[in-house]
Structure 1
Amino acid sequence: MGEQLKKEAVEWIKVIATALVFAFIITQFIRPTLVRGESMYPTLEEDNYLIINRISYKVGEPKLGDIIVFSTDLTQEDGRKKDLVKRVIGVAKDHIKIEDSKVYLNGKQIQEPYIHGKYTDGNIDMTIPEGKIFAMGDNRENSLDSRYEEVGLIDKKDIMGKVAIRLFPFNKIGTVK
């Protein structure tokens, strides 16, 4: 019976070790995150559970319209750093102008069917420097984003990844655009 117990223990150790290795590998490529707040409404809502692709910008560049998660110097109520979810509006060398509630990218008004409401607050007129991006929430009247000093332009190194999939609520499982 003792030999059988040893074999059983070895098998359990193999299974647990394999699971730990897979968990480590998976977390290098993806990361779960939970949406807090209404800044991305109607695209994302409070308590949506998302999976972000952590390697998308290690091999590629952020593009107009990508929804990203990035770290900030803002703090949450519990004292931890706050991560934000926003949409990429401009990348390095792009010229962004917000005037009369309209957003212009390189001199052309961009069409934004995803935003909540028709008003984009702020007067912005800037060219985005190398290594930075400009991002805003889809709920422009309720979004702390690149228009405001507290967030400002986002360093590419602070981007955790691109939102890949919404897992919850179950009736909205799928890719996010």
Structure 2
Amino acid sequence: MKYNFDSDEISKKRKKIIKEIIIWVVEIILVILLAYLLVEYAIEKTTVVGESMETTLQENDKVIINKLAYRFSKPKRFDVIVFKQTGKEHSYYNIKRVIGLPGETVQIKDGIVYIDGEPITEKADVELIKNPGLAVEPVILEEKEYFVLGDNRNLSEDSRFANIGNVVSGDIIGKAWIRLKPFNFVNELNPAKETKTENTSDK
């Protein structure tokens, strides 16, 4: 009986090709799955809309959102957060700085933010507030509510106004993490000037 070596060789090559195709398909699926998981649960890119965060962030700046930042912890005062308001039709994200935390009372007097009756020392270099909005009266934050302000205090729609209001934790997408161009970590941008910090502390 004569053995067909050519047929055996063809069969081996065919199996090798099929194996390589399967590996290739699995790798593509894994890459797509990883990309999906990263975008859905870890990071996302957004574009700054408007001037409300100047001079920390400029309009059209590209920002990477750390979506894992608040899965195991809560937003801290002065964090720059990205959020989307429930029920709002606009497609863009809001980017503001956390000022008031759940359970605190926020009020703006003489252009300065007070938390539980004490003036805060700003982390960012910001102007005195000309329009306190709703915070002309004490604003009591409920559980899971945050009071946010734009760093461009006199050209920002934020928690002082009813169309934004207090931000609930469920609407927070994540923490504004990295500005892509020019590259920098958002929390390192626009630090308060020492003289301004000292003056605010003295009041």
Q: Is the TM-score greater than 0.5?
A: yes
Range with greater deviation from structure 2 (5-14 or 129-138): 5-14
Q: Which residue of 1 aligns with 2:10?
A: none
Q: Which residue of 2 aligns with 1:121?
A: 131
Residue correspondences, number: 170
Q: For residue 58 of structure 1, give the secondary structure of its aligned residue in structure 2.
A: coil
The aligned amino acid for 2:159 is S
Contact 1:97 1:105 in 2 (8 A): yes
- CA offsets 1:29-86 (integer angstroms, 9 cap, x no match): 122111111110011111111111212222111111011011114333xxx3x42000
Root-mean-square deviation over aligned CA pairs: 1.8
Deviation, structure 1 residue 111: 2.1
Q: Which residue of 2 aligns with 1:56?
A: 69
Q: Which residue of 1 aligns with 2:143?
A: 130
Q: Which residue of 1 aligns with 2:153?
A: 140
Aligned pair 1:75/2:89, yes or no?
yes
The aligned amino acid for 2:73 is G
Q: Which residue of 1 aligns with 2:163?
A: 150
Relative to structure 1, is the Cα distance of residues 87 and 4 closer, same or farther in structure 2, using a 3 angstrom cutoff? Answer: same
The aligned amino acid for 1:43 is T
Counterpart-to-counterpart distance in 2, 1:144 and 1:137 = 7
Q: For residue 65 of structure 2, give the secondary structure of its aligned residue in structure 1.
A: strand
Contact 2:98 2:149 in 1 (8 A): yes
**Structure with the largest fraction of strand:** 1
Q: Which residue of 1 aligns with 2:111?
A: 101
Q: Which residue of 2 aligns with 1:176?
A: 186
TM-score, normalised relative to structure 2? 0.76
Deviation, structure 1 residue 175: 1.3
Q: For residue 56 of structure 1, give the secondary structure of its aligned residue in structure 2.
A: coil
Deviation, structure 1 residue 14: 2.3
Please list every run of 5 or more consecutive structure 2 residues that lacks an aligned counterpart in the other structure: 1-12, 188-203
State the percentage of identical aligned residues: 33
Counterpart-to-counterpart distance in 2, 1:124 and 1:143 = 19
**Computing the radius of gyration over CA atoms, which structure comes out larger, 1 or 2?**
2
Counterpart-to-counterpart distance in 2, 1:74 and 1:115 = 30
Counterpart-to-counterpart distance in 1, 2:38 and 2:123 = 34
Contact 2:46 2:93 in 1 (8 A): no
Please list every run of 5 or more consecutive structure 1 residues that lacks an aligned counterpart in the other structure: none
